[in-house]
């Protein structure tokens, strides 16, 4: 009897894939859309980072032997105590500070100019974006030709204007070469910073400027008490972004100075390249790369938190 009743009942239908898909909540649907990107990031970002961290604890000297031996923190100790690393730290901070100051100030000035109404503002905005479209390697070659000692544009222009009596070699002094590298790096980053600052400027209500004018505020007063407070968050972002970019700049320095003169423009990122691909000391290069990544994280976080704390006090 029970068997006959159960045979007469309709069998439950199986839930199809599309039915489960339509019943999916927003969180699961979002994770489904992100899964291809997360998979790509895991393969091409997480796994190489984990592999580099693993190699930083191994002695890998390909000029001696392909064997790998675990050495613990010996690579980190060797890197920290190495004279070339200590000297490159000072160059790196000088290069980063100069890049941040130049790029942020020039981007702010350009954004203020492009925010005003004048004839040809549209083409001017396009021209400002051009350095952003140039590859870093191409930019390094371009700046190398600009400061070439025999036929460079800088020498020709300064000579015609009467600022110099003879053509000079620009990249033969470490400080000057590092300064030119910082200017070239800032030139590359200015378009993006200008774009985001300009977007922030256009979000400021015009009523605030009209009220400031009615109160008798001049140009500097309007900038200080109206414009700058509204730009504080975006300027914090710009500084943190430039810290990250400047500390990991390699390709432009490689094509511009190749670390010269001598070791005058060898920053930490360039030193990673020298250890990995010229000395074939993969373990030390990995340890130095890990320390550089930690330095970027620490400096970026400290800069962001300090500026946020200063903003709250203000």
Phi, psi (degrees; rounded to nearest 5) at 149? -75, -30
Q: Is 45 helix (H, G, I), strand (E, B) or coil?
A: helix
Per the domain annotation, does 245 fall within a domain?
yes
Lowest mean pLDDT: which of 1-5, 168-172, 227-231? 1-5
119: pLDDT strictly greater than 80: yes
Instruction: Let me know whether 50 and 83 are in one domain.
Output: no
CATH number reported for the structural domain that contains residue 227 in this entry = 1.10.3720.10
pLDDT value at position 240? 87
Question: In the chain, which residue ranges form alpha helices assigned H by DSSP?
Answer: 2-8, 17-22, 26-41, 47-55, 74-81, 83-114, 121-133, 136-146, 153-161, 174-202, 206-214, 219-222, 228-247, 251-256, 268-273, 282-313
Q: Is the residue at 6 inside a domain?
A: no
Place of tokens 């390909």: 62
What is the three-class DSSP state of 271?
helix
The rounded distance, in Å, linking the Cα atoms of 159 and 289 is: 43
Is residue 46 in some structural domain?
yes
For residue 30, the enclosing domain spans 13-55
Query: What band does 1 get if pLDDT is binned at 50, 70 and 90?
Result: very low
**DSSP 3-state assignment of 172?**
coil
Residue 2 forms part of a structural domain: no
Total count of domains within the chain: 2
- Inside any domain, residue 4: no
For 50-100, what is each residue's pLDDT tens digit? 999 999 999 988 888 788 889 889 999 999 899 989 999 999 999 999 999
Residues 224 and 133 in one domain: yes
Q: For the chain, what percent of residues have pLDDT higher than 70?
A: 91
Q: How many CA atoms lie within 13 A of 58 on its CB side?
A: 14
Range with the lowest mean pLDDT among 238-242, 246-250, 310-314?
Answer: 310-314
Instruction: Tell me whether residue 66 is in a domain.
Output: no
**Is the CB of residue 185 less than 8 Å from the CB of residue 245?**
yes
Instruction: Pick 311 or 243 by higher pLDDT.
Output: 243
Kindly state whether residues 41 and 167 are assigned to the same domain: no
What's the pLDDT tens digit per position in 284-294? 999 999 999 99
| Whether residues 207 and 236 fall in one domain | yes
Nearest CA among 264, 252, 197, 260 for reference residue 230: 197
Does 44 share its domain with 83?
Answer: no
Residue-wise DSSP of 282-307: HHHHHHHHHHHHHHHHHHHHHHHHHH
69 domain-assigned: no
| pLDDT > 80? residue 309 | no
Between helices 174-202 and 83-114, what is the axis angle to 10°? 40
């Amino acid at each position: 009897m029970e068997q006959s009743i159960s045979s007469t009942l309709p069998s439950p239908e199986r839930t199809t894939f599309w039915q489960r898909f339509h019943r999916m909540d927003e969180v699961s649907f979002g994770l489904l859309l992100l899964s291809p990107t997360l998979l790509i990031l895991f393969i091409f970002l997480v796994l190489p980072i984990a592999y580099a961290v693993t190699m930083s604890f191994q002695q890998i000297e390909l000029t001696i032997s392909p064997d790998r031996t675990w050495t613990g923190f010996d690579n980190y100790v060797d890197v920290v105590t190495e004279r070339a690393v200590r000297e490159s730290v000072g160059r790196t901070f000088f290069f980063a500070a100069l890049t941040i100051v130049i790029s942020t100030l020039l981007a702010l000035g350009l954004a203020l100019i492009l925010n005003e109404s004048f004839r040809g503002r549209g083409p001017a905005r396009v021209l400002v974006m051009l350095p952003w479209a140039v590859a870093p390697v191409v930019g390094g070659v371009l700046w190398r030709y600009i400061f070439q000692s025999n036929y460079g544009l800088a020498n020709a222009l300064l000579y015609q204007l009467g600022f110099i009596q003879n053509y000079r070699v620009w990249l033969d002094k470490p400080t000057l070469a590092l300064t030119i590298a910082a200017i070239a790096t800032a030139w590359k980053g200015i378009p993006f910073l200008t774009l985001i600052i300009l977007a922030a400027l256009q979000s400021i209500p015009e009523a605030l400027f009209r009220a400031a004018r009615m109160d008798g505020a001049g140009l500097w007063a309007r900038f200080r008490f109206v414009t700058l407070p509204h730009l504080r968050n975006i300027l914090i972002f710009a500084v943190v972004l430039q810290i990250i970019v400047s500390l990991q700049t390699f390709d432009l320095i490689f094509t511009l100075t190749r670390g010269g003169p001598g070791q005058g423009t060898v920053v930490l990122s360039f030193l990673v390249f020298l250890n990995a691909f010229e000395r074939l000391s993969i373990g030390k290069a990995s340890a130095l790369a890990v320390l550089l990544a930690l330095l970027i994280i620490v400096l970026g976080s400290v800069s962001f938190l300090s500026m946020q704390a200063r903003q709250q006090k203000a």
